[in-house]
Each structure stands twice: as structure tokens, then as C-alpha cells.
Structure 1
Amino acid sequence: MIFRVKKIAYRKERQLDYFKVSLFSLLFFIISLKCLAQDSIPAAVDLTEEKELQFQQFFFKALSQKSIGNYQKAIENLESCNQILPNDLAVFYEFSKNYLELNNTLLAKEYINRAIEKDVKNIWMQKHLVKVFVKENNFSEAIKIQQKIVISKSRERAYLVRLYLRNRDYKSALSIMNVLQEENLLPASLKKVKDSLEKRNNGVVKTTAVAESIFKRFETNKSYAVLKQILESTEDKPALLLKYSTEGIALFPAQPFVYLMSGKALNAKKAYKKALETLKNGIDFVIEDAMEADFYNEMAVSYKGLGNKSEEKKYKEKFEKLKK
């Protein structure tokens, strides 16, 4: 009897042990699954972070390559960015800037328009689109975009004036200049333009009889096209160049080329201070990078003549950077 009771007790004890072992095994299995699940989350996060890191690396490489003038290399890095994160606004914007530097205005427009679709109120991207149209000499379209910019940023009106002047819409340019003058916001360079345009309207500029030579033609046809021919043909004749470029500034105060030629003539005659003043007045109207580079080159000549080596070096570097 005693043996039977002990046997039953032994069986119950063994059942309890089995239960404990089974419970422990179940808990261990659950904990293992939980740990495995927890381990899998960081793996997914790491993969995302890796892509983000790769995107950033390619993007900053693109910016770096653009800064040293390697625009095609910059585009290649941007293409890698686009593969990792398609249709990114910043990538589209950078694509456009690099294609513009390569004079591919078709792709520059395509990418900046894609970017603007994602951020229609972005002023910087709108200003870049204006630059693209200017590169194409499409001043009418540039003006349309600049008008939109002016609605939210009234300080951009001065640039709108310059676009009107480049488009030879002198009436619209004068209208805005009058408003800016009333508000005491008209830049000094535009005040000179305004005075010149008003004098033209008052009949100060007159023409003379028709003749065959380019100089005689200019007497009767005071067009910018004829003047430009004269300035280009007299570039190696400082006295004539100065005479016609001075007249050109009065007639076409918004054309940067006449200021550049006047600066060249004055530098040739060693009137460096006057040359520098003329070049600084004219550079306000420059839009194209190539002409801006020519201005910096002439300004470097002026500073060299004045003995200002630090400024000479500064403008030579600006010239070389734009010419790359």
C-alpha cells in the first residue's frame, strides 16, 4: 500500500516536471521569436539609412563637381541620385542648373519645369527659369515669369526693368522706373538709363543724311545693330572706340556691350579710374556669363593700371571661373 502511494506521488511529481519543462520550452520559444523579430527591424532601418547615405553622397558629389565646372560629372552623380530616389525636387533643380551651364536649354527647361510643378511658389526656381529664357534670348517669356516673381517679391522690380530694356520695351521699363523713383527705390544705374530714355523721347537724339559707309549710315540710322558693327570694327582704335561707345551709352543705356567697349577704350588711353566707373555702371545690365567674364577681365586691367594688385587678382579669378 505504501509502495503504491509512493508510486502515484512519483508519477505526479514527474508530470509536474514535464509540465515545467514544457512551459519553459514554450517561453524560450516565444522569447526567441520576439528577439528574432526585434533583430529584423534594425536590419530594415539600416537598409533605408544606407540608401539615404548613398543619395547624400551622390548629391554632394554632384554639387562638388558643379562647383569646379565638371557639369557632365555632376549630371552623372545626379542620375545616381535619381535611381535611388526618383523625382526628387532638389535633384531636378540641380539637373536644370547643370544643363544650363552646358548650354542645353531644352533639358534645363524640362527639369526646372518638373521642379516647379512640385513647388509652384518657389521663387529661386522661378528665377532660375528666367535665367534659362534669358540664355535663349527669349525675353518675352522671361518677362512673364519675372512678373509672377514681382507679385510676391516687389524688390525684384528692378530686374524686371532690365528685362524690359533688353526686350526694347522702353515704355514698360519707364513706367516701372517712375514708380521706383517715387518710392526712392530706383538704383543709380537705372536713374541714368531713365534720364537717357526721357531725353530720347524729347527728341535729343536726331539723325542726319544717308551715306554709304558704316559711319555715315550710323548718322542716319542710329540703331544698335549699326553701332555694334562700328564698335567691333574700331576695337583697335581707342579714340574712335571711345567716341562711338560714349555716344552708344547715351543712345542705348541698357546695352552692356557699349559700356564694355567704352571701358576698353578708356583702359587703352590709361584712364583707369574712369574705365572702372564705366564698367561698374555697365555690369548691372549683364545677364550672360560670357559677357560678365569680359567685364571682369577689363576691370582687372583697370585695377592693374591703378596699382591695386589684390583687386586685380580678385577680378582675374572671377574671369577665369566664368570662362571655364
Structure 2
Amino acid sequence: MVLFSFFFVLFSNNIFAQDSIPAKEDLTEEAELKFQEFFFKALSEKSIGNYQKAIENLESCNQILTNDVSVYFEFSKNYLLLNNTLLAKEYIERSLAKDIHNLWMLKHFVKIYQKERNYKEAIKIQQQIVAIHPKERELLARLLMYDRQYKEASALLNVLEKENTLTSNLKKLKSSLEKRKEISEKKINPSDLSSLIHQFKTNKSYQILEQILKDSTNNDTALLKFCEEGIALFPAQPFVYLVKGKILNDQKNFQNALTTLKNGIDFVIVDEMEVDFYTEIAKAFKGLGNSKQEKKFKQKAKNLKN
């Protein structure tokens, strides 16, 4: 029994650092050992992807000791991994009722709302987290952008920039937001394609480039040159990467298409464009003969559409 206990503690500390294995002083020694055995099995099954079996072991824990916060938390994690957000929410709410300021539980609650694409509720929970842990503002900025609250996201990013706490990814997103604002504030006068190309020679404006990329339909070689120049001039504009990736896929240059699309997707802040990226990435993987990755990115695109 001593050897088992030593192995149990060592294994759980190394593998399940964020999962708490509770000690239950109000149980008999035999019941506590049974409880920990089932709890350990639940963590072990979850770690190898057997989420339903993990839930079965948690149910055994619940029979030994009802209304336990750690068991509820694990129920919620496993139900989320099974994409059952309804039960995941029910159990995390039970957990938080007993430990309202628990950081890991609140973070998990945000993940559930993100899974549902319910960004407004995710933002509310993340704001609670930020009130206790100000360093968690990066995700709040992202959630605000996902919810298209661009003004609020920009204001938060400006604060982080003044505090010199902007990560490299947030700097890219801030640049993308600024470009988006410029686009919305400026309008290009209607003109034919040749006139736009002529304008772009003297005025390296993203607005003009975007119109060229949208209006061009035939000459892929010329369009690729515009894309390459556009990426050099405007490296945080995802639309340029998307157009280049599409052209490369059409030319069956799948590896370069994949590299281009992966480089550009980090700058995407609009769901519809993210769907286009995932669709083109799936095409690139199909062309490379990687059916597993093709299916994965097709599913990602489908999930965003739903």
C-alpha cells in the first residue's frame, strides 16, 4: 500500500499538474483509498483520450462522496472534451459555486464559451479573471476582437502598449486593427483595373492593392507579384496571404500555398475570412496527399460556419 501511494503521488504530480487529487478527511480510510483510486483512473483515462471512461470513474467518485468540487471540475473538463458544452457548463457552475474565485475553473469556463463561440459570455468571465489577475488581459483583448468589439479591443491594446506588456502576437493584432480602421475610414474612387494599377505605382496604398486583388481575375503571374509586394508592404494584412495561397493552390504549388496560408492566418480577426483560410489549407493538404490534415481543416471550416 505504501508503494502504491508513492507511485500514485509521483505519477499524478508529473502527469496531472493542473488536476487536483483531493484528500478527503471526512471519509473512512478505505473509502478515501477507493475515492482516490477512481479519481486517479479518471485522470489517467482522460490523459489518453478515453473521456467517457473517465466520466464513469468520476461517477464512482461521486457515489462515494457527493458534491465534491474536484469531481465536478473533472466532469466539466471531460464533457467539454466530448463537445457536450451543456453538461460542461452545468458542472463548472457547480464547481464555482463552491470556489468562486478559482482561476483554473474560471479559465475553463471561458474555454466552454469559446467553444460555443459565445464571446459575450466569455468576455464577462474573462473580465472577472482580469479583475483578480491583470496579467490575463491578452485573452480579453482577443475575445473582444472575436466579438467584433474593435474599439474596446483597441483601447485595451493601447493600455498594454503603454505598459510595455504587448506580446509579439498582440502587436501583430494591433497592427491589423489599425489597418482595418484605415480601410474603413478611406474609400477608393471607382476605377478600372488598369487605372488602379497605375495608381499603385505611385501610391502604395493597401486600399488600392486590395481593390486590385479583388478585381483581377485572369493573370495569376501578375497577381502573384502584387501579392508578394503586398506582403512585403503590409505584412499584417491577411487578405493578401489568402489570395496568394489560393493562386498557389490553383497552380498546384501546394507546399508554398500551405506555408503562405499558415503565415497569414495569425492576422485574421474575422470569422468569414478564417473559414476561407481553413478551406484553402485543406486544399493544400489534399494536394500534398495528407488526408488526415485535410479532414481536420475541413472540419474547422465547417465548425466556424455552424
How far apart are the structure 2 equivalents of 1:57 and 1:265? 56
Give the TM-score normalised by the residue count of structure 2. Answer: 0.59
Q: Report how far residue 176 of structure 1 moved.
A: 0.6
Which deviates more, 115-124 or 190-199?
A: 190-199
Contact kept in structure 1, 2:110 and 2:122, CA below 8 Å: yes
Structure 1 gap segments, 5+ residues each: 1-44, 210-229, 231-236, 253-257, 305-315
> Which residue does 1:125 correspond to in 2?
105
Query: Is residue 108 of structure 2 the alignment partner of residue 108 of structure 1?
Result: no
- String of CA shifts for 1:198-251, please: whole Å, max 9, x gaps: 233234764676xxxxxxxxxxxxxxxxxxxx9xxxxxx9988x96x9799626
Aligned counterpart in structure 2 of residue 173 of structure 1, from 146, 153, 161: 153
Say if 1:54 and 1:261 are closer, same or farther in 2 by CA, change over 3 A.
farther
Partner of 1:156: 136
Q: Structure 1 residues 104, 174: closer, same or farther in 2, change over 3 A?
A: same
Could you tell me how far apart the structure 1 residues matched to 2:108 and 2:174 are?
A: 27
Measure, in 2, the Cα distance between the counterparts of 1:77 and 1:279.
43
The answer to whether structure 1 residue 278 and structure 2 residue 258 are counterparts is no
Partner of 2:60: 80
Question: Aligned-pair RMSD on alpha carbons?
Answer: 4.4
Match of residue 33 from structure 1: none
Preserved contact between residue 176 and residue 237 of structure 2 (Cα < 8 Å) = yes
Within the candidate set 47, 61, 83, 1:67 is matched to 47
Q: Please list the CA deviations of residues 177-204 of structure 1 after superposition, one character each: whole Å capped at 9, or x if unmatched.
A: 0011111111112212212222332347
- The answer to whether the 8 Å contact 2:38/2:60 transfers is yes
Q: 1:285-324 to 2 correspondence within 5 Å?
A: none
Distance 1:260 1:91 in 2: 45
Equivalent-residue separation in structure 2 for 1:54 and 1:148 (angstroms): 36
Residues matched between the structures, number: 224
CA change 1:167–1:83 in 2 (3 A) is same
- TM-superposed deviation, 1:108: 0.4
What per-residue deviation string (whole Å, max 9, x for no partner) do you get for residues 88-147 of structure 1?
111000000111111111110010010001111101100000011111111000000000
TM-score after normalising by structure 1: 0.56
Secondary structure, aligned partner of 2:152: helix
How much does 1:50 deviate? 1.1
- What residue in structure 1 maps to residue 180 of structure 2? 200
Question: Which structure has greater helix proportion?
Answer: 1
Q: Is the 8 A contact 2:246 2:257 kept in 1?
A: no
Structure with max Cα Rg: 1
Aligned amino acid, residue 187 of structure 1: T
Distance verdict in 2 for CA 1:207–1:286, change over 3 Å: closer
The one of 103, 106, 119 equivalent to 1:139 is 119
State yes or no: 1:188 paired with 2:168. Answer: yes
**Within 1, Cα distance between the matches of 2:159 and 2:92?**
32
**Which amino acid in structure 2 is aligned with residue 202 of structure 1?**
E
Seen in structure 2, the aligned counterparts of structure 1 residues 137 and 73 have a Cα distance that, compared at 3 Å, is same
